[in-house]
């Protein structure tokens, strides 16, 4: 009799647990995906797999990057965004060791992703499939900062960690904070076969195009201009083996040169920065219903179907 009671108790417990988890993400509630994925503190205990697009996906079997290591320290660790696919964790550690060749003791590491990937509550459109990491331009003076000193997030009070901005105020050139060491680190990252792209402020790439030398410039094509990114660079890895549902972003193939140092790059630091002309018209403006297509607005059902399973797994 006790065995039967025990079995019935187990069944009731299992069913109630499953229902509670499923009901927690009822699609009718219209809970944003960023809120759901931002609240996970554990990964799924499945094999490591990146699912979907970099800006619309999730992660199974995430691995945590320790807050501190011999050659790195994670900044803003209270965010809990120090998780990624094993390939990203390995890459981050490898690059932090490689910078010793350029006179650095290691790297200050910014955001990776949530334990289960997916949209972050704030700050990023991508970083969703466990294959992206932000790396600070500030050269570490210590890799043993206190929790207080390793945060610059206004959400946790007065910022203490000081970012290093390497771009001029007018966004057209690098400033005196930029060094050749920075380029050497970016080059080392770009030459890694695991890397898909690296996003930097356009002024940084302009400088690199002028100073990278004439030999083997193909790695420069991976260095892509982007808004912001004047205090850190953003590394995106290729989809790893064992992730058939991961969608790579192709390296642009419309360039006739091998390095991406062309008129389009020049546009980023010239015409793009010019104030937009205001066009005054007498036409009646019709208010259009606003539709957000950004990660901050995604509902769970906007993500790949496999991510719904990732959401509902209870560890």
Instruction: CATH number of the domain at 169, please.
Output: 3.30.1380.10
Clarify whether residues 3 and 97 are in a common domain: no
Clarify whether residues 172 and 255 are in a common domain: yes
Whether residue 285 lies inside any domain: the answer is no
Tens-digit pLDDT profile for the chain (315 aa)?
444 444 344 443 333 333 334 334 555 568 999 999 999 999 999 999 999 999 999 999 999 999 999 999 999 999 999 999 999 999 999 999 999 999 999 999 999 999 999 999 988 999 999 999 999 999 999 999 998 899 987 777 788 899 999 999 999 999 999 999 999 999 999 999 999 999 999 999 999 999 999 888 999 999 999 999 999 999 999 999 999 999 998 876 666 788 999 988 999 999 888 887 776 666 666 666 656 778 889 999 999 999 999 998 876
Task: Kindly state the tokens that stand for 95.
Answer: 């690059």
Task: Give 50's strand partners.
Answer: 59
Q: Rounded to whole angstroms, how far apart are CA atoms 117 and 310?
A: 9
Clarify whether residues 13 and 157 are in a common domain: no
Clarify whether residues 153 and 21 are in a common domain: no
**Residue corresponding to tokens 């290591």:** 69
Angle between helix 86-98 and 180-190 (nearest 10):
140
Q: Is 21 helix (H, G, I), strand (E, B) or coil?
A: helix
Report CA-CA distances (Å) from 253 to 54, 91, 212.
19, 25, 21
How high is the pLDDT of residue 275? 85
Clarify whether residues 18 and 138 are in a common domain: no
Q: Rounded to whole angstroms, how far apart are CA atoms 67 and 69?
A: 7
Q: How far is C-alpha 211 from the geometric centre of its chain's CA atoms? A: 28
Clarify whether residues 24 and 38 are in a common domain: no
DSSP state of 86: H
How high is the pLDDT of residue 314? 77
Print the domain residue range for 23.
1-29
Largest alpha-carbon pair distance within the chain? 84
Clarify whether residues 117 and 258 are in a common domain: yes
The number of domains in the chain is 2
pTM listed for this prediction: 0.86
Whether residue 8 lies inside any domain: the answer is yes
Whether residue 264 lies inside any domain: the answer is yes
Strands 56-60 and 68-69: unpaired
């Amino acid at each position: 009799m006790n065995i039967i009671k025990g079995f019935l108790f187990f069944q009731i417990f299992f069913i109630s647990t499953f229902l509670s988890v499923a009901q927690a993400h009822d699609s009718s509630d219209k809970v944003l995906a960023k809120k759901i994925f931002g609240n996970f503190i554990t990964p799924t205990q499945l094999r490591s797999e990146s699912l979907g697009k970099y800006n619309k996906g999730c992660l199974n079997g995430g691995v945590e990057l320790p807050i501190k290591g011999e050659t790195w320290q994670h900044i803003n660790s209270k965010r809990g965004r120090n998780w990624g696919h094993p390939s990203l964790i390995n890459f981050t550690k490898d690059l932090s060791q490689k910078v010793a060749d350029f006179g650095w003791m290691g790297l200050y590491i910014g955001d990776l992703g949530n334990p289960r990937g997916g949209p972050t509550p704030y700050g990023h459109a991508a970083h969703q499939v466990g294959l992206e990491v932000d790396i600070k331009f500030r050269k570490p003076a210590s890799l043993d900062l206190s929790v207080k000193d390793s945060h610059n997030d206004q959400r946790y009070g007065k910022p203490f960690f000081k970012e290093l901005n390497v771009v001029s105020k007018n966004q057209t050139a690098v400033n005196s904070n930029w060094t050749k060491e920075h380029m050497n680190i970016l080059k080392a990252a770009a030459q890694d076969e695991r890397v898909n792209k690296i996003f930097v402020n356009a002024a940084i790439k302009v400088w690199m195009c002028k100073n990278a030398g004439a030999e083997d410039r193909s790695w420069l094509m991976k260095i892509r201009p982007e808004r912001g990114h004047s205090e850190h660079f953003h590394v995106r890895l290729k989809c790893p083996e064992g992730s058939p549902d991961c969608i790579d972003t192709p390296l642009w193939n419309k360039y006739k040169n091998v390095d991406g140092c062309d008129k389009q790059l020049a546009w980023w630091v010239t015409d793009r920065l010019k104030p937009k002309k205001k066009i005054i018209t007498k036409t009646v403006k019709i208010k259009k219903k606003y539709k957000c297509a950004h990660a901050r607005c995604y509902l769970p059902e906007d993500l790949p179907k496999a991510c719904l399973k990732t959401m509902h797994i209870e560890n």
